[in-house]
Amino acid sequence: MEGCAEYLKRLSRYGKYEIIAVDDVRDPQKPSLALIRQGMEKEGQALLKHIRPDDRVVCLCIQAPAPDSEQLAQWTGAWSMDGHRVVFVIGGSNGLSDEVLRRADHRLSFSNLTYPHGLMRVILLEQLYRAERIRSGEKYHK
């Protein structure tokens, strides 16, 4: 997606940022709750394979605090101070598995609305770029 590439380019001056995506687990035509959960668990296992034991994990989910841009800048600044890699996790259309949520060190919401995960990547990267600018004392658009 062009938006992701643009923000990754902008973020490169502040540090290393990358996107690691796992394959979507598609729901069957008429999924039962059990099949949906099974798909979420499969997707969760794929996500957890990319998370190291010492990573700081931030899961994006609706049931979480929704900071403003300045708060997010404070949080990301604090998270980056301990030397651990910070990993933001965006779930698929059914959300994140319980196992992934248990692994989270923090939960973060951008809205009560549901976004396609491709669009959420761009929103997250834009907000991380904004947070970097705020932390660097640079001008940013309010």
Domains parsed from the chain with CATH numbers: 2-20+30-135 (3.40.1280.10)
Confidence (pLDDT) at 131: 96
Residue 32 scores a pLDDT above 90: no
Confidence (pLDDT) at 92: 86
83-126 confidence digits (pLDDT tens): 899 999 998 888 899 999 999 999 999 998 888 888 999 999 99
Asked if residue 11 lies in contact with residue 17, where contact means CB atoms within 8 angstroms, the answer is: yes
For residue 77 the two structure tokens come to: 């600044």
Confidence (pLDDT) at 27: 77
How many CB atoms sit inside 10 A of residue 77's CB?
13
Confidence (pLDDT) at 101: 96
For residue 56 the two structure tokens come to: 């700081």
Q: Which helix (H) or strand (E) holds 80?
A: helix 69-80
Confidence (pLDDT) at 142: 61
46-74 confidence digits (pLDDT tens): 999 999 999 999 999 988 999 999 999 99
d(CA 27, CA 16) in angstroms, rounded, equals 34
The model's pTM is: 0.91
Asked if residue 42 lies in contact with residue 92, where contact means CB atoms within 8 angstroms, the answer is: no
Confidence of residue 140 (pLDDT cuts 50, 70, 90): confident
